[in-house]
Structure 1
Amino acid sequence: MISITLPASLFMCHEMINQNRELEVLDRVGRLSYASLELHECLQQIAQLIAEFLQSDACSIYIQQGDLRIYKAVYGKTSDQLETAWSQLTPLNGDLMPPGSLSAWTAMDAMMLTQTLHDPTTGSERFESVLATPIFNEHHGCTGTLVLWNLETRVYTPAEFTLTSILSSQVFGLVSNSSLRHQLIRKQEEQTRIYEVGKALSSTLNLDELLDLIAKTSVELTNSRGCVLRLLNREQTLLEIKSSYGDVVTDMAIAPERKIGDGIAGLVAQRGEPIRLDEVTPELLEHEVIKSVRHSLICVPITGKEGVIGTIATFDKNPDGENHRFSEEDSNLLTSFAGHAAIAIEHARFYERMEELALDNLLRLRELSILYHINTAMRSTVKLSKLLRIILTGVTIGGGLGFNRAMLLMVDEHSQTLKGKLGVGPGSGEEAHQIWQSKVNKQKSLVEMITEVPDEGEYEETAFEKLAKSIWIPLVPDQGLFARTVLEKRAFNILDANQHLEDCHAIASLLETTRFATVPLIYRDKVIGVIYVDNKYNNVPISEDDMNFLQMFANQAALAIDNTMLYANLEKRNRELREAQDQLVQTEKFTALGKMSADVAHEIRNPIICVGGFARRLLNDETLSEKNKKYVNIISEEATRLETILQDILIFSKETPIRFEECNINDVIKGALDVVGLEILDREIDVNPCFYRDIDLIIADTRQLKQVFINLLTNALQQVPEKKGMINIMTYNTLSLKGGVTIEVTDNGGGIAPEIIDNIFNPFFTTKGSGTGLGLAIIRKIIDNHKGNINVRNRPGVGVTFVINLPNDPRNI
């Protein structure tokens, strides 16, 4: 065998060539790190470059993250061939082969292996020498493997071991740079996405739509199966579910609200920090509303200017994959997004509040406008009856308060009762529809529609108005809701009368409704009446806003009613004052006339008596011729008539003392009938006395009362026709708390002409050709002296009824 010895310079030249080639390989691998290729393409080129440079039959590179392989590059052979061969390798140093597949192998140092378990019958190739070098970093440990495969036996030099170690470090750097680049790109994309979503959130002012968009975007950002969004209520005490997206199943048996500190969402709201759970246990789900969580969950706070305002919870990362754990990046991303969401939510809430305030202002403006127009209508009259109708029309009219029915009851302080005065509303649903339709068709202002209500007597009472006027309630606490409204000075809104049967049963039965409201009419801290309202026909619930508006209107109505009643009282006092003044003038006139009449009557009476006496004596003279007897008879009759006139004048003008004694009014009337009985028989007049058997005894002057009934019966006999005349007399005890007796004298004498009825009690007023006109004046004077009263019920063309009321004892009045 011939031995050839090469010079040292040749060895050095060869060594330099190898070093240059190594540097070239390292340079090419380094440049691939900056190429714009995807990572798997770079790894594929590196595997080819290493295999060719180190003259290996195959090269494989595996990159993993934990137990998960994320990248693989194979050159020279197929991946399956290498995986099969790996399971048949044995370390050359005699160590045991680490368990696991090729892609999951990890080690601290490079290792030489050989395929000792090769089965030649399979037809596969046998790898004699395999060099496995870990892709290792001191901070991250082994993150992959660089493997060189050789079909023939090969011994790697220390320089080659070093080269493969350096190449594996370069691969690790390449993977790290690529990972960082991808993370930066993903971060940029996420921030761009958040920015775009933030703009979309800021442009959405509808709070419900905004919350739905936030829930949906949260699912998309975290690639999760579902999302639940909660917000704190206005009291800042409870977290309420406001939106959800995805596969969300809730347990209705558990209250959806969460207190601060209760449950996962409550803890996040309390701490203001995210909570990330890699595994959700059944015990944890027992107390959670969301039952569709299966694997993992992340919950972050929504933090506004003044603290936490809600939470966002997403669950089950990567629902279609295998790894369902949320990363720290997911937590940070969702937290960042929640910050943008908080700004948008506060913006939308502010806008919503502004809309509420604007709507509230519009409602207040409408209410004030309605009150103004109804007040204008109420000022258009001073008649109480018309004012009450205007008030109830304002309560029920469509452009006003708009209730279906309303009634007004007034307090009677004297009897301490509540009495129905008026009711306005339809009697049926069909009538209600007709009324509403007619209001729509009329193009009139609110004031015009309210003020066109007819005056009393110009319309026919409806069934509801008659029902309202029939209500009479004592003001005691056990008399139901109407009485309580007055006594407690507060409004009541009854949503279901069946729940308040003690107070509302009578009203609900009478008015056939179970939902209604009552408000007091209060003026100067005194209740003067009650307004009742309901929506029987359209069944619209009466809200608290309706009640507030109704109470405000009731206060205005109470002021108008009080002013009208004050005006009516003032008118009454002025009228009474005028009447008293006229009566005083009349009294003074009658006093002067009476004194003069008494003086004249006294001076004339004696001569008339003498004339009458001598005339009657001459009539007894038998020597007197018939002709002269006729003249003397005329003188006697006229003298008698003048005596009667003078007697009436003296009775009227002279204050006759009253001699009080106990008497039965039935007996007094019977005595008067005896006086005029002869005339009744002569004229064949039908007199029908109807005396109450148990009439009360009264204290009176029997002689003067007898004169009263003689005058009344005389007047009646003068008015009724002969043989067809009829006079009815009725007595009964007065129906009043003070007691007394009442006498009615009725005739069919054709009545009194309406134009003169106000003068019939005036002295010297008469429509007959004879008489003094003092008969009724004397009657009234005697009745007044007995503290009684006399009234006339006139039926022109039929007859007249005089009604006399006398007290039990005028001395006590």
Structure 2
Amino acid sequence: MFETEEWFKLIKSVIFISSSNLSCFEKIDRILQSLSDSFASEACRFFRVEEIKEGSILYRILKTKKPFFSDELTPIEYEEFLKEEKILIQPFFVCIPVYDDSSFYGILYLGYTKSKIFSSEAIEILSLVSKEIGRILNIERLIEKKERYLSELGALYEIGKAVTSTIKLNELINLILITGQKLLRAKGGVLRIKDDTSGELNIKYISGDFNQNLLEERISKRVFSMKTPQWVHHRSEGKPSLSMMCVPLMGSNGLVMGTLTFFDLDNESNFEQRDFQLLVSMAEYVSRALENAYLYKGLEELNQRLKEAQNLLLHREKINALEELSNSIAHEIKNPLTSIGGFARRLSRLLSEGEAEKRYVETIINEVNRLEKILNDVLRYTNQGSPILKECDIVGILKESVSMVSFGNNTNGVQIIEEFEGSLPKINGDREQLKHAFFHLIQNAYQAMEGKGTIFLRVSSFRLNGTSSIRVEVKDTGKGIDPENLHNIFNPFYTNKTSSLGLGLPIVHKIITSHHGQIEVENQPGKGANFIITLPAL
């Protein structure tokens, strides 16, 4: 008889084997070896269900789902065994069915040639081991089922992998047709998408050797309207045959987004039923991918608008704080500076030319003038009032701005080329403010070229979101803007010039936006910059 400690060692060994990384069959072999050693059996094996012949003793034991044994106290007549079983089964044995709620797996068998008595504890231990064997086999069955399922999905996975590799709409549309053409061995394909405005079915993308014909167009429209896949072989006298498959692309809301069509095999033969079924299955992947791509595109556009709104809000908050601080400082400095300038001018008038004190006073006056100019720029920026809108001629404003720019002695080195479209519409604006804005842009363009180069002034009309608009370009051939500084150029007091306060472009930006316009820059480092202003026209 076994002691409790020995039973415990056996169960522990079985659990250890079961939780190891061995294969299913290796685990069962190890468990059988442990059982054979523990029970000192002459034969210990597992009969799989497919090995058990119907009508045999083992078969009847399996169906009862109960342990069965033949020992010294309860022997079984040897004649009850089939001929095949007599070779396998010893006179004294114990059989434990291995099963779970859904399946029979086989029988756990221990056999002896010498007299043996099986206690209830031994039967109970063997039943526990048989349950563990059943669990191992069940896990193996589930793994095999999963692998079989994955194998069946392999083809569709390849399609799905291709169409879900990107959510960028144009890339996705291109990939859909290229992948479909390859998998179906087609000569070409066409993707049609419904136009949200007109409701018409329009060609969005084509691939391969596609030649549009009336039959293909009619079938696509029929598939679109009926929401049903079509597979046709068309033959006409004197013309090449056409084998074509077309499927609707259904949205999750039940509406048709478009159609996907492939035609003619590369080997000149017709499509087969499996090709058609693959395309029908593919349509579901394509529909979801397209839907996601359109959703992503919409979210991208919305996110971009939100970012722009957030950046604008942050910019305005920062500008407002700077405006308040700058305005306060400018007012505090301007009054004593005016006094200094006034007294310096009075002293200058009292001193004779040639006196050393006269030169000192002139220096004071020049510096006061420079500081007053800086303060005026600050106050003009911080106290820029709302524009007084009147009908204006944008070309006239630009020409006046050019005349305000001081080119010094280098006028021969700078060329100004004016490209003004004829019959330009008028704009509604504040002439003085706009003149000041374009003055800053032209002055910056001149300074960027260091006295040598070309300034292009271009004005044209166009429609923006259905509204008449004016586009003004101020382009130079200087060194361009350092990309690291580009995002700061419209921020006040940001400059890389020692002689500038950094208010020129912020003033321009403030004036243009107050006129409900936009300003952007096309920057080419080493080649120049192009400032583009868009203003609403009348």
C-alpha displacement of 1:665: 0.9
- CA 579–728 in structure 1, closer or farther in 2 if over 3 Å, else same: closer
Distance 1:631 1:483, change over 3 A: farther
Q: 1:727 aligns with which of 448, 455, 460?
A: 455
- Does 2:104 align with 1:375? no
- Cα shift readout 1:22-70 (whole Å, capped 9, x = no counterpart): xxxxxxxxxxxxxxxxxxxxxxxxxxxxxxxxxxxxxxxxxxxxxxxxx
Determine helix, strand or coil for the equivalent of 2:494: coil
Compare CA radii of gyration and give the structure with the larger one. 1
Q: For the structure 1 residues 682 and 393, does the alpha-carbon distance in structure 2 shift closer, same or farther, using more than 3 Å as the test? A: closer
Q: Secondary structure at the match of 2:385?
A: coil
Whether the aligned pair in 1 keeps the contact of 2:352 and 2:358 (CA below 8 Å) is no
**1:395 maps onto 2:180 in alignment:** yes
**Residue type of the partner of 1:601?**
A
- The residue aligned with 2:426 is 697
Q: Give the structure, 1 or 2, with the largest relative contact order (CA under 8 Å, sep 6 or more).
A: 2
Whether the 8 Å contact between 1:404 and 1:538 is mirrored in structure 2 is no
Distance in 1 (alpha carbons) for counterparts of 2:221 and 2:409: 57
**CA RMSD across the alignment:** 3.5
Change (3 A) 1:365 1:581: closer
Query: Structure 2 length as normaliser, TM-score?
Result: 0.62
Distance 1:653 1:484 in 2: 65
What is the rounded CA distance, in whole Å, between the counterparts of 1:566 and 1:703 in structure 2? 46
Following superposition, the deviation at residue 376 of structure 1 comes to 3.5
Q: Say whether residues 1:627 and 2:356 are aligned partners.
A: yes
Q: Distance in 2 between matches of 1:408 and 1:482?
A: 10
Matched length: 383
Query: What is the identity, as a one-letter code, of the residue corresponding to 2:514?
Result: N
1:653 is aligned, of 374, 382, 385, to: 382
| Residues in 1 aligned to 2:320 and 2:387: alpha-carbon distance in whole angstroms | 19
Partner of 2:325: 596
Between the aligned partners of 1:390 and 1:772, the Cα distance in structure 2 is 52
- The Cα of 1:625 is off from its aligned counterpart by 3.9
Q: Relative to structure 1, is the Cα distance of residues 728 and 571 closer, same or farther in structure 2, using a 3 angstrom cutoff?
A: closer
- The answer to whether the Cα contact below 8 Å between 1:513 and 1:536 also exists between their aligned partners in 2 is no
Which residue does 1:784 correspond to in 2? 513
Residue 406 (structure 1) aligned to one of 171, 189, 201: 189
**Structure 2 counterpart of 1:768:** 497
CA gap 1:365/1:770 in 2 versus in 1, 3 angstroms? closer
CA apart distance, 1:638: 2.3
Alignment partner of 1:520 is 2:248: yes
More divergent stretch after superposition (635-644 vs 543-552): 543-552
1:657 partner amino acid: S
Deviation of the 1:710 alpha carbon:
0.6
Alpha-carbon spacing, 1:644–1:637, altered in 2? closer, same or farther (3 Å) = same
The 3-state SS of whatever aligns with 2:186 is coil
What does 1:444-463 correspond to in 2, within 5 Å? Answer: none
Check whether the contact 1:482–1:518 (CA below 8 A) recurs between aligned residues: yes
The residue aligned with 1:567 is 296
Q: Distance in 1 between matches of 2:221 and 2:500?
A: 59
Give the Cα–Cα distance (whole angstroms) in 2 for the partners of residues 738 and 394 of structure 1. 42
**Could you tell me how far 1:481 is from its partner in structure 2?**
6.6
Seen in structure 2, the aligned counterparts of structure 1 residues 618 and 701 have a Cα distance that, compared at 3 Å, is same
Please give the secondary structure, in 2, of the residue aligned with 1:533: strand
Report the equivalent of 2:401.
Answer: 672
Q: Report the CA distance shift for 1:365/1:754 in structure 2 as closer, same or farther (over 3 A).
A: closer
Tell me the residue number matched to 1:127: none
* One-letter amino acid of the structure 2 residue matched with residue 403 of structure 1: A
Q: What CA deviation, in whole Å up to 9, does each residue of 1:404-439 have, x standing for no partner? A: 3234354453576766655444x7xxxxxxxxxxxx
CA contact under 8 A between 2:185 and 2:266: conserved in structure 1? no
Secondary structure of 1:628's counterpart equals helix
In the alignment, is residue 611 of structure 1 matched against residue 340 of structure 2? yes
Q: Is the 8 A contact 1:759 1:765 kept in 2?
A: yes
Instruction: Find out whether 1:384 has 2:169 as its counterpart.
Output: yes
Q: Which amino acid aligns with 2:285?
A: Q
Q: Secondary structure at the match of 1:734?
A: strand
Match of 2:483 in 1: 754
Counterpart AA for 1:539 = E
**Residue 598 of structure 1 aligns to a residue in which SS?**
helix
CA distance in 1 between counterparts of 2:180 and 2:428 reads 54
Q: Within 1, Cα distance between the matches of 2:503 and 2:203? A: 45
Partner secondary structure for residue 496 of structure 2: coil
- Unmatched segments (≥5 aa) in structure 2: 1-148
Amino acid at match of 2:454: M
Distance 1:731 1:373 in 2: 53
**Aligned partners of 1:701 and 1:680: how far apart in 2?**
32
Q: 1:805 to 1:417 in 2, by over 3 A?
A: farther
1:748 Cα deviation from its structure 2 partner: 0.3
Shift of 1:599: 1.3
Contact 2:242 2:264 in 1 (8 A): no
Q: Distance in 2 between the 1:393 and 1:532 partners?
A: 12
8 Å CA contact 1:734–1:805 kept in 2: the answer is no
C-alpha change, 1:489 and 1:746, in structure 2 (3 Å) is farther
Query: What residue in structure 2 maps to residue 305 of structure 1?
Result: none
Deviation digits for residues 345-404 of structure 1, max 9, x if unmatched?
xxxxxxxxxxxxxxxxxxx9998542233224434444434433442333022xx33323
Q: Deviations over 1:218-259 (max 9, x none)?
A: xxxxxxxxxxxxxxxxxxxxxxxxxxxxxxxxxxxxxxxxxx
The equivalent of 1:716 in structure 2 is 445
Alignment of 1:285-434 (within 5 A): 369-397=154-182, 400-413=183-196, 422-425=205-208
- How far 1:656 moved relative to its partner? 0.7
What amino acid is aligned across from residue 726 of structure 1 in structure 2?
Answer: T
Quote the Cα distance in structure 2 between the aligned partners of 1:497 and 1:774.
75
| Counterpart code for 2:172 | L
Does the 8 Å contact 1:495/1:541 carry over to 2? Answer: yes
Q: CA deviation at 1:620?
A: 4.3
Q: Tell me if the contact between 1:520 and 1:529 (Cα under 8 Å) persists in the aligned partners.
A: yes
Q: Is the Cα–Cα contact under 8 Å of residues 351 and 357 in structure 2 kept in the other structure?
A: no
Q: Which amino acid aligns with 1:717?
A: Y
Q: CA 1:622 to 1:768, structure 2 compared with 1: closer, same or farther past 3 Å?
A: same
The equivalences for 1:543-562 within 5 A come to 546-562=275-291
Q: Contact 2:351/2:358 (CA < 8 Å) preserved in 1?
A: no
Identity %: 34
Structure-2 separation of matches of 1:641 and 1:385: 56
Match of 2:15 in 1: none
Shift of 1:808: 1.8
Give structure 1 stretches of 5+ with no counterpart: 1-363, 428-463, 472-478, 500-507
What SS does the corresponding residue of 2:267 show, helix, strand or coil?
Answer: coil
What does residue 535 of structure 2 align with? 806
Residue correspondence of structure 1 range 487-498 to structure 2 within 5 A: 489=227, 495-496=233-234
Contact 2:242/2:263 (8 A) holds in 1? no
Q: Deviations over 1:738-779 (max 9, x none)?
A: 121111111101211222212211221112112121211121
Instruction: Normalising by structure 1, report the TM-score.
Output: 0.43
Q: 1:746 to 1:614 in 2, by over 3 A?
A: same
Q: Does the 8 Å CA contact 1:680/1:717 hold for their aligned counterparts?
A: no
Deviations 1:277-301 (A, max 9, x none): xxxxxxxxxxxxxxxxxxxxxxxxx
Partner of 2:73: none
Is the 8 Å Cα contact of residues 420 and 459 (structure 2) preserved in structure 1?
A: yes
Superposition deviation, residue 571 in structure 1 = 4.5
Q: Contact (CA 8 Å) 1:521, 1:555: kept in 2 or not?
A: yes
